[in-house]
Amino acid sequence: MPVSPISILNPSALDAYTDLRSVPKHRHFGRNDIIDRLRLAVPFDYISISGLDVDHYRFGHGFSIDTDMPPAFLEAYDADRLFSVDPFILVAQSSTSIVVEREVYAEHEPPPRLIYLQRTFGLHNRTLIPVMRNDVIYGAICLARSTPFEESELNFLSVVAGSIHTAVTKPLMDRFAADQLRLSKGEIACLAQASLGLTSEAIAVATGYQPDTVNSYIKSAVKKLGAMNRTQAIAEAIRRRLIT
């Protein structure tokens, strides 16, 4: 598993990708303001933001990870398939509360290879905060540092984890909102025509749909985009680059 140097927080980073599946799944970022500000509140050595609130991309599937952990560690970890035997990850996948590495290791002995890699790259005391929507764990924030996190720090991290996850993954969610929102081709086509100022009747002529179908598509698109009306839906679709 090669780790891509792409940072999705770069405004043009996703321009070359046609869909969510084509974006590198494991991405290594350098300095960025969001993570730097979090470090001011709670110092840490490394951070990993994983999972998206999209089917097949949720935490545990390994299909979306933004991190500043050493790429060599991640590549060795993946090559040795340690994710399948790492007790920390196995416990975290089904936990709805904070998972602390030393507590997991006290009950489940980690494989020697994992301990070797952690010591080699200085990645200690992993602590994972799950990010949830209702009862669904769709994301996680994992931090590591040389000393364990204090209870007050964990309380703070629990409060801000969702916001940090949203801020970091927002470019992906916005860029590929069609995947997230399941907008159909018909809904996008009707919105695109509506953005030109066409009436439903004119959109029907342009798209080949019946007027009632056009109205139905636009109504469902308004709902999916969380808009109040057609105008707001068009503005939101343009902002998300679903239409131009």
**pLDDT for position 63:** 79
The reply to whether 11 falls in a domain is no
pTM for the full predicted model = 0.74
Domain's final residue, options 148, 177, 206: 177
Same domain, 43 and 117: yes
Dist. CA 232–CA 81, nearest whole Å: 47
75, 2 Cβ separation under 8 angstroms: yes
Q: What's the number of CA atoms in the CB half-sphere (13 Å) around residue 67?
A: 27
CATH of the domain at 98: 3.30.450.80
Same domain, 157 and 233: no
Dist. CA 52–CA 30, nearest whole Å: 21
Residue-number span of the structural domain to which 75 is assigned: 20-177
Same domain, 104 and 172: yes
- Pair of tokens at residue 103: 């507590």
**pLDDT for position 62:** 66
Domain's final residue, options 136, 154, 177: 177
**pLDDT for position 179:** 62
- Pair of tokens at residue 57: 């991309």
**pLDDT for position 214:** 96
The reply to whether 26 falls in a domain is yes
Token pair 């808009």 is found at 227
Integer angstrom CA distances of residue 11 from 57, 93, 157, 171, 180 = 22, 31, 27, 8, 20
**Tens-digit pLDDT profile for residues 105-129:** 999 999 999 999 999 999 999 999 9
CATH of the domain at 217: 1.10.10.10
**pLDDT for position 7:** 87
Low-confidence residues in the chain, pLDDT < 50: none
